[in-house]
Structure 1
Amino acid sequence: MEKFVSNPGDPSMDFPQHFRCPISMELMKDPVTISTGVSYERRNIEKWFHVYKRRTCPATMQSIETLEMTPNHTLKRVIDAWLDSRADHKPSFSAKHDELEMILGTMDSTPFKVSSLRKLRSLLKTGDDVKEDFRKSGGMELLVRIMLQISVENHDFLSTFSACEEALLVLHQVPFSADDDEILQLLMRPDCMRSMAIMLQRGSSEARFCAISMFQKMAKADARRWKSVAQDHGIDFFKSLMETVSDDQICAKASSSALNLLTETLESSKKSRLKAVEAGAICTLIELLPESSNRSRCEKIMQLIKLLCECAEGRLAFIEHGLGIAAVSKKMLNVSNAATKIGVKILWLVSSFHPTERVLEEMLVYGAVQKLVALLNVGGGGGRGTTRDRVVRILKLHGGTWRRFPCFPGELKNYLGLGNDSC
Structure 2
Amino acid sequence: MEMEEPPHLFLCPISMELMDDPVTVSTGVTYDRRSIEQWIFGCGRATCPATMQPLANIELTPNHTLKRVIDSWLDRGSPSTSASSSPSTSLLSSPAHDLAATPLSRMLEAERLRSALVGLEETPFKVTALKNMRARMRGDVAMQCEFVSSGGIQTVGRIMAQALAESGAGGDFSAFTACEEAAAVLALLPLADAASVGLVLAPDCIGPVMALLQRGSAEARLHAMDIVTKISSAGTGDGDWTACVEVDDVLKSLLELLSDEVSTRLRSRALDVLLDVIERSRVGPAKALEVGAMHVLVELLADADGRRDAERILLLLKRLCKCPEGRLAFAEHDLSVAAVAKTMLRMSELATQLAVKVLWLVSVVAPSEKVLEDMVLTGAVAKLLGLLHVETPPATKQRTVRMVRINGGYWRQYTCFPSDLRDYLRLLD
Out of 346, 349, 371, the residue aligned to residue 334 of structure 1 is 346
Match among 156, 162, 166 for residue 149 of structure 1: 162
- What's the counterpart of residue 302 of structure 2? 290
In the TM superposition, residue 253 of structure 1 has moved relative to its aligned partner by 1.5
- Runs of 4 or more, structure 1, over 6 Å off, are 88-92
Q: Name the counterpart of 2:269.
A: 257
Match of 1:391 in 2: 400
Structure 1 155/136 Cα, relative in aligned 2: closer, same or farther at 3 Å?
Answer: same
Matched, 1:201 2:214: yes
- Whether the aligned pair in 2 keeps the contact of 1:151 and 1:191 (CA below 8 Å) is no
- TM superposition score normalised by structure 1: 0.70
Q: Contact conserved, 1:209 with 1:257, CA < 8 A, in 2? A: no
Measure the CA separation in 1 of the matches of 2:376 and 2:309: 26
Which deviations, in whole Å up to 9, do the C-alpha atoms of 1:303-333 show, x marking residues without a partner? 2222221222111111101111011111111
Instruction: Name the amino acid aligned to 2:372.
Output: L
Instruction: Say if 1:368 and 1:270 are closer, same or farther in 2 by CA, change over 3 A.
Output: farther
Residue by residue over 1:197-222, the C-alpha shift from the partner in whole angstroms, topping out at 9 and shown as x without a partner, is 11111111121122222122112222
Structure number with greater Rg is 2
Aligned to 2:411: 402
CA separation of 1:361/1:315 partners in 2, compared to 1, >3 Å: closer, same or farther? same
CA distance 1:347–1:148, change in 2 (3 Å): same
- Per the alignment, do residues 102 and 356 of structure 1 end up closer, same or farther by CA in structure 2, a change over 3 Å counting? closer
Q: What displacement does 1:110 show?
A: 0.8
Q: Per-residue CA shift, 1:113-165, capped at 9, x if unaligned?
A: 01100010111125222222222322222111212214545546333222111
Task: Give me the TM-score of the superposition, normalised by structure 2.
Answer: 0.69
Q: Equivalent residues in 2 for 1:37-116 (5 A)?
A: 93-116=106-129
Counterpart of 1:358 in structure 2 is 370
**Within-5 A mapping of 1:214-293:** 214-222=227-235, 224-230=239-245, 232-234=246-248, 236-248=249-261, 250-293=262-305
Identify which of 135, 146, 168 aligns with 2:183.
Answer: 168
Residue identity (%): 38
CA contact (8 A) 2:321 2:362 kept: yes
Q: CA deviation at 1:246?
A: 3.4
**Quick one: distance in 1 between partners of 2:107 and 2:312?**
42
> Is it true that 1:124 corresponds to 2:137 in the alignment?
yes
Q: Give, in whole Å, the separation in 2 of the partners of 1:340 and 1:205.
A: 34
In structure 1, how many angstroms separate the alpha carbons of the residues matched to 2:286 and 2:230?
23
Return closer, same or farther for 1:204/1:94 CA change in 2, 3 Å cut-off: farther
Does the CA contact (< 8 Å) of 1:247 and 1:255 recur in 2? Answer: no
Cα distance in 2 for residues equivalent to 1:317 and 1:185: 35
| Distance in 2, Cα, partners of 1:338 & 1:207 | 34
What is the root-mean-square deviation of aligned Cα atoms in Å?
Answer: 2.4
Q: Which letter maps to 1:211?
A: A
Report what 1:159 is aligned to. Answer: 174
Q: Distance in 2 between matches of 1:190 and 1:102?
A: 25
